[in-house]
Amino acid sequence: MARYEAKTVPTDADVDAFLESVEHPVRRRDGHTLRELFERVTGQPAVLWGPSIVGFGFHHYEYDSGHSGDVGAIGFSPRKTSTTVYLMDGPAAYAEELERLGPHTASKACLYLKDLSKVDLDVLAEIVRRSFTKHHQPGAAS
């Protein structure tokens, strides 16, 4: 069986250049705001994972099948319709905080924010801090 190669891996790409290339002005502004917030909260530098995910720290995973790899412990991506925040433990783990966050939608693993000026950034920082602390594994990257 062929070895699986992850497509979303850390790159040396310039995170600022990526954020400046975001077409939607609100997503571009929010991307810069999130980078500052995530770096402050995690103490980790922003790294571009693949072409469009800004990640912080590392999380190592291994499935029962033996497939394993590293991903950012937490991250975000400015997408066309909203900014996606990736939470390893999913938004459901933060139900109480989400009640105070402001306008958002969620899926199993992601939090979607259309405009950071309408959410409570202190609450978002609390979510980021808790998720990162729970999932960051220093030295996990290969």
Q: Is residue 93 part of a domain?
A: yes
Helix (H, G, I), strand (E, B) or coil at 77: strand
- Whole-angstrom distance, CA of residue 128 vs CA of residue 113: 14
- Is residue 6 in some structural domain? no
At 116, which CATH number?
A: 3.90.1150.200
Domain interval for residue 31: 15-135
Q: Is 95 among the domain residues? A: yes
Contacts of residue 21, defined as CB under 8 A and 6 or more positions apart, other chains included, come to none
pLDDT given at position 41: 97
- Structure tokens that stand for 21 in this block: 């290339």
pLDDT band at 2 (very low <50, low <70, confident <90, very high): very low
Q: How many structural domains compose the chain? A: 1
- Establish if 3 belongs to a structural domain: no
Query: Which residues have CB under 8 Å from 63's CB, separation 6+?
Result: none
pLDDT of residue 139: 65
Residue 32 within a domain:
yes
Task: Check: pTM over 0.75? Answer yes or no.
Answer: yes
Q: Examine residue 10 and state whether it is found in any structural domain, yes or no.
A: no
Residues 6+ apart with CB under 8 A from 53: 8, 72, 75, 76, 77, 86
Residues 6+ apart with CB under 8 A from 59: 70, 71, 72, 73, 88, 135, 136, 137, 140
Maximum Cα interatomic distance, the chain, rounded to a whole number of Å: 49
Q: pLDDT, tens digit, for every residue of 48-74?
A: 999 999 999 998 878 888 877 788 899
